[in-house]
Structure 1
Amino acid sequence: MENKNVCELDEVLTGARIEPEVCLLRPDFAVLLMVASGLPGGPSDDASDALLAAAEEQVTPDHPHEQAWADAYRAFGAKPNRTRPSVTALRRRPGLPRINKLVDVYNAVSVRHALPVGGEDLDAYRGAPRLFRARGDEEFETSAGVEHPEPGEVVWGDDAGVTCRRWNWRQCARTQITERTGRALFMLERLEPMTLTALLAAGEELRGHLEALGADVRTRLMR
């Protein structure tokens, strides 16, 4: 079972792709993908609360990484003041939400490093991740029903549909990480002026927090 699990995780990483039209839009874009298994899901706890509290204390206004993402949103027709990049939405909250143990961990890393970090439940995922510009007829599942992205919108998707709209604005209901998640995919997304070295450091920090959750946690990176 462990070998089968490792093979499945490797297939998610090796099958991932960024379509050329996204690279043309932002040639400086890079993503670090991480898969993790053996995760002990559960509600927010003292440890995840402490990570968020520490991240809250490090927030500074008008971070240059936030401006880079605002520019990227404008480039594909989104209005960042109305639909904010995930990192901006988090960093400008008066207090970070406590959602569940795993989401709290990656939100803390996102806020601390001022970069978007997304998380997907791999047991709900279908195939490998793909970042592309939408046609407009793809399906995006919400708690209220099915929506469709705007034509040209940058979206993440799997074989079953769009998993995150407007690059990193809003995740679909189908693949969201819950208290029952045991295997997950994480995306750490970088634009300049963030360096690739800083991106890798954020990834290693996330890996360390995840592996500290339990002896059975296993992580794999693709960069």
Structure 2
Amino acid sequence: MLDDIWVDDSVLALRPDFAVLVMTAHGLRNGPSDDRSRAWLTAASACEVQTEKIDAWKDAYRAFGAKPQRTRPSVDALTRRMPLPEINRAVDAYNSISVRHALPIGGEDLDRYVGPARLVRASGDEASEEALGQPEPGEVIWRDDAGVTCRRWNWRQVARTRLTEETTNAIFMLERLEPMSLEELKQAGEELADLLAELSPEVRITSRLLLNGN
């Protein structure tokens, strides 16, 4: 799965500094939010908002014609929802890491994917859920063989692949732009892996870093 994921050159032309750390977690034991995941959310909610990193994502949205004040990058929307909402343990884990590092993170049910994930610029005729709306030509989207999985880079994910309490195999996309360093991106991935291992000691985690030129 990881070897087949790719980022289209047209996306990298918009932001040559883009990199994504893709992680898969097999054997996950998810469930409803508990005291442990609530503590992660509480600690993250106390962190100072890192506006420079969020502003970089707003600029990236403008580069393909989106208006970030109307459809906000995921990490921008998340930092405006303090205290962070409880969803389920796995989502609480990656939301807490997202806010700590001002890093957009998507988490999805790997078993719901049809073919590999790829980040592309939309043609405008991709299959998309009605609630999500149809992507505009040139819009940056994550997709698989069945259609859109996330619109406007990291604005909103489809219901089809969302992480639920029953999810056992998951995929996470940690998306970086400058001024975040690659070292911090890798650190965030390690922190997420540690939280997932707390939830599921037997979880098997693999990762791959995709960046311009690689």
Question: What residue number does 1:97 align with?
Answer: 85
Give the conservation status (yes or no) of the 8 Å contact 2:88–2:165.
yes
Structure 1 stretches lacking a partner, 5+ long: 1-11
Amino acid at match of 1:106: Y
Q: 1:63 aligns with which of 51, 54, 58?
A: 51
Gaps of 5+ in 2: 210-214
Q: Does 1:41 align with 2:30?
A: yes
Equivalent in the alignment of 2:212: none
Offset from partner CA, 1:139-183 (integer Å, 9 cap, x none): 1225x4x73101100000011101000000000010000110000
- How far 1:221 sits from its partner (Å)? 0.7
- Paired position in structure 2 for 1:147: 133
CA contact (8 A) 2:31 2:166 kept: yes
8 Å CA contact retained: 1:36, 1:183: yes
Equivalent positions of 1:10-89 (< 5 A) are 12-60=1-49, 63-89=51-77
**Hey, what does 2:105 align to over in structure 1?**
117
Runs of 4+ in 1 over 4 A off after TM superposition: none
Q: 1:103 deviation in Å?
A: 0.5
TM-score normalized by the length of structure 2: 0.95
**For this pair of structures, how many residues does the alignment match?**
209
Is 208-217 or 101-110 further displaced after alignment?
208-217
Contact 1:65 1:191 in 2 (8 A): yes
Match of 2:150 among 146, 156, 164: 164
Distance in 2, matches of 1:53 and 1:140, equals: 34
Q: Is the 8 A contact 1:139 1:147 kept in 2?
A: no
Select the residue among 172, 181, 193 that pairs with 1:186.
Answer: 172
Q: CA RMSD in A?
A: 1.1
Q: CA shift at 1:75, angstroms? A: 0.3
TM-score, with normalisation over the residues of structure 1? Answer: 0.91
CA-to-aligned-CA distance 1:83-105 (integer Å, 9 cap, x gap) = 00000000122321101111110
Equivalent residue of 1:147, what SS?
Answer: coil
Secondary structure of 1:112's counterpart equals helix
**Could you report, residue by residue, the CA deviation over 1:38-73 in whole angstroms, capped at 9, with x for unpaired residues?**
11111111111000000000132x610000000000
